[in-house]
Amino acid sequence: MSSNHPDKTCARCGRRFSWRKKWERDWDDVLYCSASCRRQKVGAADRAREERIMSALEATTSKGLPLHDLAVDTDEVEFLRQAARRLAVGGRILMFQKGRPVEPRDIHGPVDVALPPSRSKCRFRIRG
């Protein structure tokens, strides 16, 4: 048995999680941090939240947006946070707290989101 188990990123909530003994047989196949995340696989509503975040960032003229401003109500904030984590882990957005970039998988509390510099206002780059 290897003692070297790199952390993983949950496919549902985008949080970082670490190896545990209960997963020793199938760690390679583990995608979700918890039973709750495994039950709530990413669905159409979640993809729509990701697209809402992307559209808002592409439409804004400011450098970034407070993520909670994009939630339709307080019940949605955590779902939106998960969507933002998935986008950030995929490199599509950046997350900031108090103006500083943060590791998206470990954030707690209010967060701002922004497009990565290379993407801002240059969505279709044509190469010769």
Does 37 interact with Zn ion (rule: CB under 5 A)? yes
State the minimum distance, in angstroms, from the CB of residue 34 to Zn ion.
5
Of 34-42, 62-70, 95-103, 110-118: span binding Zn ion (CB under 5 A): 34-42
List 4, 25, 26, 33, residue binding Zn ion (CB under 5 A): 33
> Amino acid identity of 119?
R
C-beta separation of 33 from 70 below 8 A? no
**DSSP letter string, 87-121:** HHHTTS-EEEETTEE--GGG--S--EEE--TTTTT
Does 83 bind Zn ion (CB under 5 A)? Our answer is: no
Nearer Cβ to Zn ion (10/83): 10
Q: Is 89 one of the binding residues for Zn ion (CB under 5 A)?
A: no
Residue with tokens 């954030």: 107
**Taken in order 14, 57, 78, 50, is the CA torsion positive or negative?**
negative
Which residues contact Zn ion by CB under 5 A?
Answer: 10, 12-13, 33, 37
